[in-house]
Amino acid sequence: MKTLIRISTAAALAAGLSLGGTAAQAAGGHGGPELMHPSWSFEGIYGRYNEDQLKRGWEVYAQVCASCHPLDYMHYRNLEGLGYTEDEVKEIAAQFEVRDGPDEWGEMFTRPATPPDAFAEPYENDALAKLANGGVVPPNLSVMTRARDGGADYVYSLMLGYEGGVPEWVHEEDPDFALPPGKSFNAYFPGYAISMPEQLFEGAVTYSDGTEATPEQMAKDVTAFLQWAAEPELEDRKELGRYTLLFLIVFTGVLYAYKREIWKDAH
Ligand code: HEC
């Protein structure tokens, strides 16, 4: 029995590691505080997205982040994945303007978006994006939870990691630290000096489900939404993972029985 247990624990561990996702860890290997780790509905092998939360997260993205950050690869019709109906998605899309053209006069123009359109880009080009953001282009957020160490925990912590001034512990770490002009202090951003000002002030968005828009609530919702944008197929993958795990356990049992059969007379 020992082998079986050992092998299936290893299989469970391997599956858990690849399915689990977000373990707490320090931001990007630099000093500073440990990342915050709220409980995520999509964690663990039975993890699922919470549609109410995803809708709220979309509202945060649309009302706050979309004015600076693109969400590449996303089309308005993908919002049906959050539980919106076709008609609701039409209405949502129509609130955004997308660039189109050229028209018969050779001119580019803007028009209200429709469900098949890709999400509107906040800036016409990188030069304008830089000009508006202290020389830094706000990055595409659609793969952010996968692109950074710490994933969802990092994005959540970053949104809440602003401090009015430079805290004492930073000067203990580096007595010469000075915040360059135009940058904000963020405890979780590598190097601490970030070109994105604090975004999530109390009441920054109006939730249509009436939830109180505290900074923690908004940070959690928008991070869950960004996790979904990066990995909409997560639930299918977890289901496959569970079957794979079950298969491995059964298969291990079969192998073990087989081994005993073969060695039965050899002792
Ligand atoms: C006023 C423009 C602006 C708004 C609004 C804005 N951001 Fe940013 N954001 C930036 C800029 C500029 C950067 C690049 C920061 C840097 O590299 O110093 C950035 C960077 C980021 C990063 C990447 C940090 C990293 O590790 O590189 C994340 C994640 C992020 N923003 C999330 C959000 C979310 C979520 C929202 C909405 C709640 C939001 N931002 C709203 C301008 C903005």
Give the pLDDT score at 234: 83
Nearest CA to 158 among 148, 171, 172, 170? 148
Q: Ligand 1 in contact with 224 (CB < 6 A)?
A: no
The atom number, within ligand 1, closest to the CA of 204 reads 38
With a CB cutoff of 8 Å and minimum separation 6, the contacts of 100 are: 108, 109, 110, 111
Cα dihedral 196, 200, 205, 209 in deg (nearest 10): 130
Give the model's confidence band at 176: pLDDT under 50 very low, under 70 low, under 90 confident, else very high.
Answer: very high
pLDDT, tens digit (0-9, with 9 covering 90-100), for 24-75: 444 444 568 999 999 999 998 889 999 999 999 999 999 999 999 999 999 9
**Amino acid in position 199:** Q
Going from the Cα of 65 to the center of ligand 1, the distance in angstroms, rounded, reads 8
What does pLDDT average to over the chain?
89
Is the Cβ atom of 71 under 6 angstroms away from ligand 1? Answer: no
Q: Residue 222 above 90 pLDDT?
A: yes
| pLDDT-derived band at 264, boundaries 50, 70, 90 | confident
**What digits encode the pLDDT tens for the residues 89-113?**
999 999 999 999 999 999 999 999 9
Q: Reply yes or no on whether the pLDDT at 13 is more than 70.
A: no
Per-residue pLDDT tens digits for 197-220: 999 999 999 999 999 999 999 999
Query: In terms of DSSP H, where are the helices of the chain?
Result: 2-20, 51-63, 86-94, 126-132, 144-147, 151-160, 168-173, 215-230, 234-263
What pLDDT is recorded for position 259? 92
Please work out whether the CB of residue 155 comes within 6 Å of at least one atom of ligand 1. Answer: yes
Stretch 186-206: mean pLDDT: 96
The CA 53 to ligand 1 mean position distance, Å, reads 21
- For residue 238, the CA-to-ligand 1 centroid distance in Å is 30
Q: Which residue carries 């999530």 as its tokens? A: 200
What is the structure's pLDDT at 30? 54
Average pLDDT over residues 252-264: 92
Tell whether ligand 1 has an atom less than 6 A from the beta carbon of residue 62: no
Specify the residue with its C-alpha closest to ligand 1, atom 33: 65
Residue with tokens 């660039």: 99
Of 56, 60, 64, 69, the one to substitute when testing ligand 1's pocket (max ligand atoms within 8 A of C-beta) is 69
Q: 58 in helix, strand or coil? A: helix
Instruction: Judge if the beta carbon of residue 193 lies within 6 A of ligand 1.
Output: no
Tell me what pLDDT residue 36 has: 97
**Ligand 1 atom closest to the CA of 223, numbered from 1:** 35
Q: Is 56 in the pocket of ligand 1 (CB under 6 A)?
A: no
As given in the structure block, the two tokens for residue 74 are 């996303």
Domains of the chain: 2-72+140-263 (1.10.760.10)
Residue 29: the pLDDT is: 44
